[in-house]
Amino acid sequence: MPRPDRMKLGTFVYTYGFHPASWMHPGSDVGAANSFAHMLNVARLSEAAKFDFMFMADSPAAAVGDPEALARQPNKMNRFEPLTLISALAVATERLGLVATASTSYYEPYNLARIFASIDHLSGGRACWNVVTSDHDETGYNFNRRGLDPHAVRYARAREFVDVCFGLWDSFDDDALLLDRERGIYHDPRKLRALDHVGEHFQVRGPLNIASTPQGRPVIAQAGGSEAGIALAAETAEIVFGLASDIGRSRVFYATLKARMAAFGRDPDGLKVMPGVVVNVGRTRAEARAKVDFMLERLHPDVGRLMLSEFLEADLRGVPLDAPLPEDRLPAAPKGSRALFEELTAFVRSGRTVGELIRLYAEKHTGNGITGTAADVADVMEEWFETRAADGFILMLPTLPASLQDFTELVVPELRRRGLFRDEYEGMTLRENLGVPRPRGRAG
């Protein structure tokens, strides 16, 4: 049975692209990390292609590790702060959804609720908050802590944080503003209320000092694949993001997550499962493959070693490239993708060198996903979409703007020919375009 709607698409943004050597691609401004013009270009390309949104990844810390390797990988060292960036993009774009990542571990709900409400007004209803709890130790060191709080504490705080924000966004009823100059009454005081929240992590009185926004509440995105993450998403999220590896597992994840929504009285269509996918597309398969190789050649071994260190949570500095990795450097369990972890483990046990392992990891991490012609890419996306492994995709484009231009020029027309992607925006707000309901402001 064909899907009733079309797929949703978003552009995932690290400044220069998802590939760790992306800043070296000749097609971008080398100073893009501090250039609004670069970000606006990415936004306008996404908007011209009628994408649902642009998604700003974030971490409130510079990456940690070998300083020489970090000096070769700017995406995590020098970046715009995402809330300010999407505020600026809000008034320079018209239809594109604007997603910013912000951590429930290091913000206060009153400040963040105000910020997103303000962006929703600035953008005419295109704000989306990617809720994260932050999962890197280095972030804690910037916020008065010796490291991360335990996973369960972070998720309990996140759940309460989101709840407080929901309450604050509902401070003003949708029809609270009377704007009656004749009688001198601006708002109906019966349609504005305090929150008086008293919980384990937060005490917040409210009300929020900004009126109800075009979307009622910003769209909520989340990425969690843990049990706590799935629970939070089933209850509160409208976009769920994850790294796609295996279509079978993704179908199970999709079905599980949508089933869990019923317990919260939610329609499964109110949440869009959008795996991240790395796309390298060319006019021919050889051209696509050449693009992958072009970027792999630019990846310095120190950067590859640093990336692998992060994935394995092991310090690999000084480990020789031309010898196998001692097996005791492998962790017992993966932090990220289990499938990738198992593949790397088998590779190590087969006696390959660290240099080969880095190349495998870098390719899996940055060059895998889908590589081929527009038809190849569309085939995979169509299969995932039609078999309910995904409602759409967050595109992890290796380089920006080059890979985004490739995608919009080659793949988008192919998706349209197949009836899989929109020709024009359906609505004015991100909720309207995603097809997720707007929360109704309370009656007075």
Among residue numbers 169 through 188, which ones bind a copy of itself (CB under 8 A)?
A: 171-172, 177, 179, 181, 184-188
Q: Tell me: is residue 66 an annotated ligand-binding position.
A: no
- The verdict on 264 binding a copy of itself (CB under 8 A) reads no
CB of 139 to a copy of itself, least distance (A): 9
> Using CB under 8 A, which of the segments 58-66, 234-242, 335-343, 434-442 binds a copy of itself?
58-66
CB of 376 to a copy of itself, least distance (A): 30
- State the sign of the Cα–Cα–Cα–Cα dihedral 62, 68, 69, 74: positive
d(CA 196, CA 178): 25
Residues from 215 through 234 that contact a copy of itself (CB under 8 A): none
Tally of residues, the chain: 444
d(CA 405, CA 427): 24
Q: Which member of 62, 259, 262, 346 binds a copy of itself (CB under 8 A)?
A: 62
Q: Which two tokens stand for residue 383?
A: 């299969």
Q: Tell me: is residue 212 an annotated ligand-binding position.
A: no
- The verdict on 145 binding a copy of itself (CB under 8 A) reads yes
- The verdict on 60 binding a copy of itself (CB under 8 A) reads yes
Q: Which two tokens stand for residue 21?
A: 């050597």
CB of 225 to a copy of itself, least distance (A): 25
β-pairing, 272-281 vs 392-396, is parallel
CB of 155 to a copy of itself, least distance (A): 19
**Total Cβ atoms within 10 A of residue 37:** 9
Contact status, residue 56 vs residue 43, Cβ threshold 8 Å: no
Contact status, residue 364 vs residue 342, Cβ threshold 8 Å: no
Q: Which two tokens stand for residue 23?
A: 């800043």
Residues from 110 through 139 that contact a copy of itself (CB under 8 A): 110-111, 114-115, 117-119, 121-122, 138
Q: Which member of 20, 74, 167, 229 binds a copy of itself (CB under 8 A)?
A: 74
> Using CB under 8 A, which of the segments 65-73, 253-261, 265-273, 323-331 binds a copy of itself?
65-73
Q: Which member of 71, 259, 286, 346 binds a copy of itself (CB under 8 A)?
A: 71
Q: Which two tokens stand for residue 13?
A: 């943004």
Q: Tell me: is residue 58 an annotated ligand-binding position.
A: yes
- The verdict on 321 binding a copy of itself (CB under 8 A) reads no
CB of 127 to a copy of itself, least distance (A): 10
Q: Tell me the C-alpha to C-alpha distance, in Å, between residue 366 and each of 69, 311, 412.
A: 17, 13, 21
Q: Tell me: is residue 151 an annotated ligand-binding position.
A: yes
Q: Which member of 209, 226, 256, 284 binds a copy of itself (CB under 8 A)?
A: 209
Q: Which member of 44, 61, 380, 425 binds a copy of itself (CB under 8 A)?
A: 61
Q: Tell me the C-alpha to C-alpha distance, in Å, between residue 383 and each of 38, 167, 186, 230, 432.
A: 33, 39, 53, 24, 25
CA-nearest of 305, 307, 444, 301 to 366 is 307
Residues from 80 through 99 that contact a copy of itself (CB under 8 A): 80-81, 83-85, 87-88, 90-92
- The verdict on 400 binding a copy of itself (CB under 8 A) reads no
Residues from 341 through 380 that contact a copy of itself (CB under 8 A): none
Chain centroid to Cα 172, Å, comes to: 29
Q: Which member of 45, 96, 192, 390 binds a copy of itself (CB under 8 A)?
A: 192
d(CA 22, CA 260): 38
CA-based angle 342:289:301, to the nearest 5?
60
d(CA 124, CA 429): 7
Site string for a copy of itself, 14-43 (x = CB under 8 A): -------x-xx-x---xx-xx-x---x---
Residues from 271 through 310 that contact a copy of itself (CB under 8 A): 298, 300
- The verdict on 147 binding a copy of itself (CB under 8 A) reads no
Site string for a copy of itself, 407-436 (x = CB under 8 A): ------------------------------
Please name the helix (run of DSSP H) or strand (run of DSSP E) that holds residue 294, with its range, or none: helix 285-297
Binding-residue total with a copy of itself (CB under 8 A)? 77
d(CA 355, CA 352): 8
Half-sphere exposure for 303 (CA within 13 Å, toward CB): 23
d(CA 88, CA 39): 10
Amino acid identity of 302?
D
Q: Which member of 77, 152, 286, 323 binds a copy of itself (CB under 8 A)?
A: 77
Looking at beta carbons only, is 210 or 344 nearer to a copy of itself? Answer: 210
Please name the helix (run of DSSP H) or strand (run of DSSP E) that holds residue 371, with its range, or none: strand 370-372
Tell me the binding residues for FMN: 58, 101, 151, 155, 226
Q: Residues within the annotated binding site? A: 58, 101, 151, 155, 226
